[in-house]
A and B are shown apart, each in its own frame.
Chain A
């Protein structure tokens, strides 16, 4: 499950945010500049639609969104 989510996030980033990006699941997304607030919001909407979940204000804090792994973990947790 988590692997699928990671794949989806990588595909989204590589196709919509930064074409050809070689971002890794453990990379720090904000510090490295891979995602800004706007593209993170886009990614969140994409994942909510794809997995039929709703992430709350409490979910959407920096420490849950710092890496692709952490985002995948959050989505997985909400899906359960």
Chain B
């Protein structure tokens, strides 16, 4: 095809212009330069550096296609985006496929289409911005949705998986008695091992709120504590009971989120209460149904706590969890795109947490940002590198 001359490009107001939004940054990939839209978390690899230079100013579609057709631009572009959190909640959340098998695209129309699909090129600023918001349901393709919704869409629509089964699998090995070799084990469990030793907890009464199948309840019981595990899922409780045997742990089905259901707990009874990876759902729910029981839940847990006892709330870090893992192993970095007004993230801010604790009459005694154990280095080097620098959980020791 011959060159399209300027006279053939009819420049009217109706012909849309395309441009690279300011949300896009570039960095070196394995074979080319990667364009990364940091807000949509989508990536396209370019082996077409001249094209990037050409796109520095807004262009009409015919101009872009003409440029691609008439220049020697290299292999072209390829899609290097995938929903990387599909592999687990504590895996690389950058959505960058680091070993892509995708084909390089060299046809002008294909390239332009891919750049639009991955939000590296936009033609309508207002329409693009309007997409940042919650989905009405998982079939809503007009909004990007938050992390919960994107994960739900990926599991239910793309993979057709049961999210409950997926959740258990990404955390536990097949038998559900052992943690996977991932950051749950190397940060969360490591923290528990360090802070709940026999000398601290032997003979103490501990309440494990949202105990699931009882993994941590059993750990605490093995240290000599008398543990009560509660969870809304009867299947989990049945399993927890059958596995615990005579360990000194008992389990109860309680619909924790209902709030008032916690009134069955005794008052001033527990030396420690463990509440982990759950409070965030009282700020941003997993589904579209809001939970309005945050204050009741925290107040009831405070009531059940002994004076001098500790309510330990462990939550995914409100700043660093789900931030992209970028850079090399020796000098990892991330890019923070949101904190106070999250459209993708689902964690409360520090002040929101502090307010929730204060509302329930709880005082913050200490905050931990648990480190990653060195064991992680051989199993998950990138996760190890990033979480050494950027904590993935924060833990609040609360008292009455």
Residues of A within 8 A of B (CB): 30, 36-37, 40-41, 45, 57, 60-62, 65
B73 on the interface (CB 8 Å rule)? no
Knowing A37-B287, A61-B141, A62-B141, the reply to whether A30 touches B157 (Cβ < 8 A) is: no
Query: Which of the four size classes fits the interface of chain B?
Result: 10 to 19
One of B132-140, B243-251, B364-372 contacting the partner: B132-140
B158 on the interface (CB 8 Å rule)? yes
Q: Which 8 A-B pairs have the closest CB atoms?
A: A62-B139, A61-B141, A37-B138, A37-B137, A62-B140, A60-B157, A41-B156, A57-B158
Residues of B within 8 A of A (CB): 136-142, 152, 156-158, 160, 287-288
Check B137 against A60 for contact (C-beta < 8 Å). Answer: no
Residues of B near A62 (CB, < 8 A) are 136-137, 139-142
Residues of A near B158 (CB, < 8 A) are 57
Check B156 against A37 for contact (C-beta < 8 Å). Answer: yes
Closest to B158 in A: A57
Residues of A near B140 (CB, < 8 A) are 61-62
Question: In the bound complex, what is the Cα–Cα distance between A22 and B84 (angstroms)?
Answer: 42
Residues of B near A37 (CB, < 8 A) are 137-139, 152, 156, 287-288
Q: Taking A37-B152, A62-B139, A62-B141 as given, write out 13 further A-B residue pairs in contact, using a Cβ cutoff of 8 Å, ordered by the A residue number.
A: A30-B137, A37-B137, A37-B138, A37-B139, A37-B156, A37-B287, A40-B137, A40-B139, A41-B156, A57-B157, A60-B139, A61-B139, A61-B140
Question: In the bound complex, what is the Cα–Cα distance between A45 and B138 (angstroms)?
Answer: 15
Residues of B near A57 (CB, < 8 A) are 157-158
Residues of A near B137 (CB, < 8 A) are 30, 36-37, 40, 62
Residues of B near A45 (CB, < 8 A) are 160
Question: In the bound complex, what is the Cα–Cα distance between A41 and B155 (angstroms)?
Answer: 11
